Every structure is written in C-alpha cells, then in structure tokens.
C-alpha cells in the first residue's frame, strides 16, 4: 500500500498541489485524471522518488520511501513506465489495435 500524508509540492511560488492525503491499496487499479499542468506527473514522480516533495510523507507498506535504500527501492519495490509519443510509427489507432 502507498500512503500519502499531507503531501505538497511547489516550484518557487507555484504551488502544484498541497495537502494531498490518499491510500493506494495493493491489488487495486487507479487513474489520475486532470487537465494538462494540474500536477499528475509531478505527483507520480514524487511517489516514484524521481522528485522530492516539498512537504509531507510518502509511505510504501508503512516505510518512508526516502528512508529506503535507493538501489532496493528502484530494483525491488516500485516500477515506473514513462509515457512516450509515437511508440508505433505510421500506425493509426485502428491499425494499432489490430496488431
């Protein structure tokens, strides 16, 4: 389970999100939705330890992710797949679905 406690992130004077409290339970699927620039990727980057949050805590199975050994965290605890444009060249949605 991933637990977010009072998570906040800002860049300079720009507050991206603040006071986020949530639990992602094991075995469940979740979707983050929102407008471009609303902080979805920044939140995921914080959970994945790619960016440190400004304040608050992130726990994985009750352990603060920033106190975990980095090599163990990235090797055994959490995986992250980055979105990318044009993963399949010259294919329409219809052609891609038929592959």
Domains along the sequence of the chain with CATH:
2-98 (3.40.50.300)
Give this prediction's pTM: 0.76
> How high is the pLDDT of residue 96?
46
> Encoding tokens for residue 53?
């949050």
pLDDT at residue 28 in the model = 92
Residue indicated by tokens 């009750």: 62
The whole-number pLDDT of residue 95 equals 46
* Residues of the chain predicted below pLDDT 50: 95-99
């Amino acid at each position: 389970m991933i637990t977010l406690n009072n998570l906040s992130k800002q860049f300079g004077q720009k507050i991206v999100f603040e006071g986020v409290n949530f639990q992602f339970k094991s075995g469940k699927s979740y979707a983050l939705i929102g407008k471009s620039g609303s902080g979805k990727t920044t939140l995921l980057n914080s959970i994945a330890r790619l960016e440190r949050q400004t304040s608050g805590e992130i726990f994985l199975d009750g352990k603060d992710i920033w106190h975990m050994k980095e090599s163990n965290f990235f090797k055994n605890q959490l995986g992250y797949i980055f979105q990318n444009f044009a993963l399949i060249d010259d294919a329409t949605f219809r052609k891609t679905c038929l592959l």
